[in-house]
Structure 1
């Protein structure tokens, strides 16, 4: 029984498609089909049946799937055990643009300090591209928003909730019990990117039957932040990008939790049932980094 044939079967199950499995494995669709057919002949059982445009496991296929995952996991563990002298010295990490700019530059030197013998490769991409790269095993770990995909494991790492911010001299800076009408009367710097559900902000104004005064539509976070710092309007920005400004007092938050509360997390993400190499080590450094950051903010 060939391990590559079993892996092709597992990918087809996770992705619910022979075609997607072929893409993820960098193989042709006929090759993946042939591997699964060979596996079925060896087992003497049909593992899939056609279901519309997709595929569906047979009863025997479902029964074999748990064994297949155990076989691959055992194989991977054995490879690591037998090659202790050749332990992976490189780890490839990906992050979405906001995590790349505001988290990775702080944590990457700490990872290197904790693991001096490891070579780190880092890439930036959208959430969707990062998930595809995880599945293709092009990267080991990614930092991105919450994603609902089969065989993708996620653990929350950072709070990146969205806050309404303004210049400290802005009239709304110290105002309490602000309503949507108050916000609609002010100039809004609207930063929008695919990492967050900005549609909720639009709906907030729609529900109050008012229209926001969007003076600036900005596709670059730093530009949006700069406009707000220069008192050109108010705006909703994610936590990671405004930590330093809030600490220095060049920006202040406007309390809006009573009308809109956008909680967001950055998740450490990997593909498969087993955490990748060095996951625990990297996670320990992150936890230590977060504890120090919280202590500094308390001071």
Structure 2
């Protein structure tokens, strides 16, 4: 029985969706489906009933869930014990971008500290390009950055943060769950520019419109962008993670724009090939746990 298949099963149950489980595991939806089908063959039983897009555990699936969760806990604990012979530095140097520091790191570092209570973590912020150089020069141990490619660098996706349109309370769009890209042409815009390809794609999608939005403010700080929206200076595309509190307090309202959907900010863990594999894996697991909250 494959442990990855059991993990996929537990994630599907937790999220109630194959697609959401795939996102959390950084897999495609067909890959998750294939893992569940393989597990069902191993167990010789059906684990889910599928009615349209809705899924429910079968009676046997419900019985297997507790065992599956225990198997995962035992596996993760044993894996940590076996890997504990790898030398963990007394001080772990971590570099990340400002947005990662503000919105992702607070979710992850407490979990890292629980796994390695004796480790001291030194956190610094910089741009992705600067962090890559510092990792290559071994001036820092791990980097949390946008995706980078380099022959001496090991990179793995840690976090995927959907980008959505946000408007302020009382804005006409707030009454609609969905607006078209064409409707954006009459709106003043705040544009958060972080240099990643996802933001470039959004910007380019404006160019195809008959009446592109009027971009009044280009900013490189998410907090500034959010406050400008809340002060009714315009509307803005923002990553979901940074808006949670404001959405809960109804200060920002997400609006779906179908033509500009599917974009997300991707955060990767980078390190020198073959180095800091234990703590890198711990960061990855902590990211998965945080996403499951």
Larger radius of gyration: 1
Q: Which residue in 1 is equivalent to 2:285?
A: 284
Q: Which residue in 2 is equivalent to 1:38?
A: none
> In the TM superposition, what is the alpha-carbon distance from 1:193 to its structure 2 partner?
2.1
Where do 5+ consecutive residues of structure 2 fail to align?
Answer: 1-84
Separation (CA, whole Å) in 2 of partners of 1:205 and 1:180? 8
Distance 1:279 1:179, change over 3 A: closer
Say whether residues 1:224 and 2:225 are aligned partners: yes
Say whether residues 1:165 and 2:166 are aligned partners: yes
Distance 1:218 1:113, change over 3 A: same
Q: Which residue in 2 is equivalent to 1:265?
A: 266
Say whether residues 1:174 and 2:178 are aligned partners: no
| Match runs of 1:58-97 below 5 Å | 88-97=89-98
- 4+ aligned runs moved over 4 Å, structure 1: 84-87
Distance 1:86 1:240, change over 3 A: closer
Q: Is the Cα contact below 8 Å between 1:140 and 1:276 reproduced in 2?
A: no
Q: Secondary structure at the match of 1:173?
A: helix
Q: Which residue in 2 is equivalent to 1:34?
A: none
Separation (CA, whole Å) in 1 of partners of 2:131 and 2:246? 29
Q: Is the Cα contact below 8 Å between 1:159 and 1:239 reproduced in 2?
A: no
Q: Which residue in 1 is equivalent to 2:144?
A: 143
Q: Secondary structure at the match of 1:198?
A: helix
User: What is the TM-score with the length of structure 2 in the denominator?
Assistant: 0.64
What are the superposed Cα offsets for residues 53-83 of structure 1, whole Å, 9 maximum, x if unpaired?
A: xxxxxxxxxxxxxxxxxxxxxxxxxxxxxxx
Distance 1:249 1:177, change over 3 A: closer
RMSD of the alignment, in Å?
2.4
User: What is the TM-score with the length of structure 1 in the denominator?
Assistant: 0.63
Q: Secondary structure at the match of 2:174?
A: coil
Q: Which residue in 1 is equivalent to 2:203?
A: 202
Distance 1:159 1:244, change over 3 A: farther
Q: Which residue in 2 is equivalent to 1:156?
A: 157
> In the TM superposition, what is the alpha-carbon distance from 1:85 to its structure 2 partner?
11
What are the superposed Cα offsets for residues 94-147 of structure 1, whole Å, 9 maximum, x if unpaired?
A: 111110111113322332233221111111111111111111122221111111
What are the superposed Cα offsets for residues 214-245 of structure 1, whole Å, 9 maximum, x if unpaired?
A: 23233322121012123332111122211222
Separation (CA, whole Å) in 1 of partners of 2:190 and 2:228? 7
Q: Which residue in 2 is equivalent to 1:111?
A: 112
> In the TM superposition, what is the alpha-carbon distance from 1:190 to its structure 2 partner?
1.8
Distance 1:282 1:201, change over 3 A: closer
